[in-house]
Amino acid sequence: MALFAMDTAIVQKVIVMLETFREHSKGWLAKLILAFITVPFALWGIDSYLQGAGSSVAVAKVDGQSITVQEYDNALQNLRSQLQAEGKTDPSLLDDPAVKQSVLDRLIVSHLLSGEIRHANFVISDEQLGRFILEMPEFSQNGKFSQEMYDNVLKQNHLTSSQFESRMRAELLSQRLRDGVSSVAFAPHAVLDNLIRVDRQQREVSIATIKAADFMAQTKVDGAQVQAFYDKNKDKFRVPEQVKLEFVVFSSSGLITSTQVSDDEVRKFYQENASKFQGDEQRRASHILIAFDKKDDAAKKAAREKAESVLAEVNKNPAKFDELAKKYSQDPGSAANGGDLGLFGRGMMVKPFEDAAFSMKPGAVSGLVESDFGYHIIKLTEIKGQAPTYDDVKAQIRAELLNQKAQAKFAEQAETFSNMVYEQSDSLQPVVKAFNTPLQTSQWMSRDDAMKFFKSDKLVKAIFSDEVLKDKRNTEAVEAAPNTLVAARVVEHKPAAPRTFAEVAPAIEEHLKLEQAFSMAVKKGEADLAQLRAGKEVAGLEWIPPVLIARDNTQGLSETVVQQAFKIDAEKLPAYGGLEKKGVDYTLIRVSRVDSEAVQDGDEKAKLLSGIQTSLAAEYLGAYVGSIKHKANISTNPQLLGAATQQ
């Protein structure tokens, strides 16, 4: 019984841990916070060091070792690159205090693990390091290590080989420590089997909801309560700082309307890029090749005379092309097959040959076609598929050329635009006239409004800077999107200010009533739950039809309801539980049946066991990190957390 009690405790602990992982591991922030358990091999942003004074100031200290603003900012920039690679381009994500704290926590953990590595005298040999780098997919080409790719990647990221190898050695040492801690994670097979059984359990569940809205008519709120709430919470009723703007947008897309592309340019592009427009067309041809040495004029002349003689024979009797190819062709790959080259698309043959073949009709024989290989006599035997005509793709080509020209024009003029905005910073009119771009105006905008509109953290920070707000200067020209520069100036400004009591009194009254109504709903729900657990009937509850749920099959119920349903002690059925949804309702949960079957499929069981072991390893590693953090002397400077990104 004691062993069973111990097993049950472990199972309960791991189940809670798995539930926590399920609940929190879906968000990108949670994955970021847990990321320290893996080896980060991202190269991008590693050496984007801060410039200027103050970058060596400590954001935190770990056992006397400083984590500088520079190091912290490098980590933020690295995270920005990772998020962009994942398609998360909203720069405001990095303003989240939880994100900033998680980045700092990760640096603290890294310093702590480095200290543990030094104390344990862990070593990575040059041979181990070299073998690891040789196997990194970032440097692999056709399944083999490429020195050229290695050099290029390091060059792109401003790293010397010694810097990169030093960082990789540190990461491998850190991973060795983590692996060592994780390897002690263990649970007996009986516990694991029990855990899988519980994890795969199904429960038949029904719910009844007691809504706060149903109690609104019973609430009472007087003016004194509203006034008291307002007086206590004035800071919550502030109108944020707002601005009215005028701004200009200079972009390559805006230049398209003033860009011209002639029909000759379109046709030339079509001819030079025919392979892009071949559709699914393929051609089959045979040829007779009379080769020559390009460096020997006499040999070339003799080859031409022979080719002309052969061409005359072909023209005399085209039906004997195959025989003549076998007799005269000097192409060892096709002569034996009567000169047949099989099907080919554009881009597969040398250009003179391709141009001739794709201009012919089936059955036609060409004149002499000269290429680097010699003189060809070509017979087109088949056309398969279809290529779009020039008229089909003319509009597409024109659009592409317009875009190319507009981008080139933008690149030429962007610096002039930026300089004019900066040098004539008391007005946007000079760039409006010089670049024929409209001056646009905005409604009142808060920082959040501006962020949603412009989607540029840098531009919004500039708009709300003292230089722009107080000195009435233009912002710099900010690249708010690819090939798009935006400059703005503030026309009107409203500082943040509290809303008047009259403005917010109705909303406060509604809020207080909802609080009362929710409190009544919870009180009734808890009373009903007590009655149900005592085996008594409760009138007026509207239970939904029962559904059979699993942890990974919610049957339309919310995740929080499903989690609560599996936390209910189901030793005696029916079993009941309750769940509050703040300000909305109180949900009663009834479990009427429990199905718990062992997993028979070997692959599925192995997969589940692997997942459990991974979760246990993460738990052990988390506990280990927590223990060394507890023993360490750690101090932080919260005021500097935001400073790095503003420099």
Model confidence pLDDT, tens digit, residues 301-344:
999 999 999 999 999 999 999 999 999 999 988 999 999 999 98
**Which of 577, 603, 575 shows the shortest CA–CA distance to 591?**
575
Distances (CA, A) of 198 to 11, 25, 360, 556, 572: 8, 20, 73, 21, 16
Q: Is the pLDDT of residue 514 over 90?
A: yes
Mean pLDDT of 398-411: 90
pLDDT of 289:
96
pLDDT of 139:
86
Helix (H) or strand (E) holding 239: strand 238-239
Taking only the tens place, the pLDDT of each residue in 190-248 is 655 666 666 778 899 999 999 999 999 999 999 999 999 998 988 888 888 999 999 99
Structure tokens belonging to residue 91: 């720069």
Q: Give the span between the Cα atoms of 99 and 554, in whole angstroms.
A: 30
Say which residue, 536 or 638, is predicted with more confidence.
Answer: 536
10 Å Cβ neighbour count for 139?
19
Q: Give the span between the Cα atoms of 181 and 112, in whole angstroms.
A: 14
Domains of the chain: 2-189+617-646 (1.10.4030.10), 201-238+501-595 (no CATH), 242-259+397-495 (3.10.50), 280-386 (3.10.50.40)
Say which residue, 87 or 208, is predicted with more confidence.
Answer: 208
Taking only the tens place, the pLDDT of each residue in 71-82 is 777 777 777 777
Q: Is the pLDDT of residue 151 over 80?
A: yes
Give yes or no for a contact between 151 and 139, defined as CB atoms under 8 angstroms apart. Answer: no
Q: Give the span between the Cα atoms of 450 and 452, in whole angstroms.
A: 5
Whether the upstream peptide bond of residue 574 has omega within 30° of 0, thus cis, is: yes
What is the four-CA torsion angle of 465, 466, 471, 473, rounded to 10 degrees? -10
Pick from 26-30, 39-43, 115-119, 516-520: least confident: 39-43
State the first-to-last Cα distance of the chain, in angstroms, to the nearest integer: 63
pLDDT of 592:
94
* Percentage of the chain lying above the pLDDT 90 cut: 41
Pick from 125-139, 526-540, 622-636: least confident: 622-636
Give yes or no for a contact between 130 and 60, defined as CB atoms under 8 angstroms apart. Answer: no
pLDDT of 193:
62
Q: Give the span between the Cα atoms of 582 and 613, in whole angstroms.
A: 35
Say which residue, 416 or 159, is predicted with more confidence.
Answer: 416
pLDDT of 236:
84
Give yes or no for a contact between 315 and 365, defined as CB atoms under 8 angstroms apart. Answer: yes
> What angle separates helix 602-631 from helix 189-199, to the nearest 10 degrees?
110
Give yes or no for a contact between 393 and 270, defined as CB atoms under 8 angstroms apart. Answer: yes
State the DSSP string of 162-210.
HHHHHHHHHHHHHHHHHHHHHTT----HHHHHHHHHHHT-EEEEEEEEE
Q: Is the pLDDT of residue 513 over 90?
A: yes
Taking only the tens place, the pLDDT of each residue in 472-501 is 899 999 998 889 999 999 999 999 888 889
10 Å Cβ neighbour count for 557?
20
Give yes or no for a contact between 605 and 193, defined as CB atoms under 8 angstroms apart. Answer: no
pLDDT of 640:
61
User: What are the φ/ψ torsions at residue 27 (nearest 5 degrees)?
Assistant: -80, 145
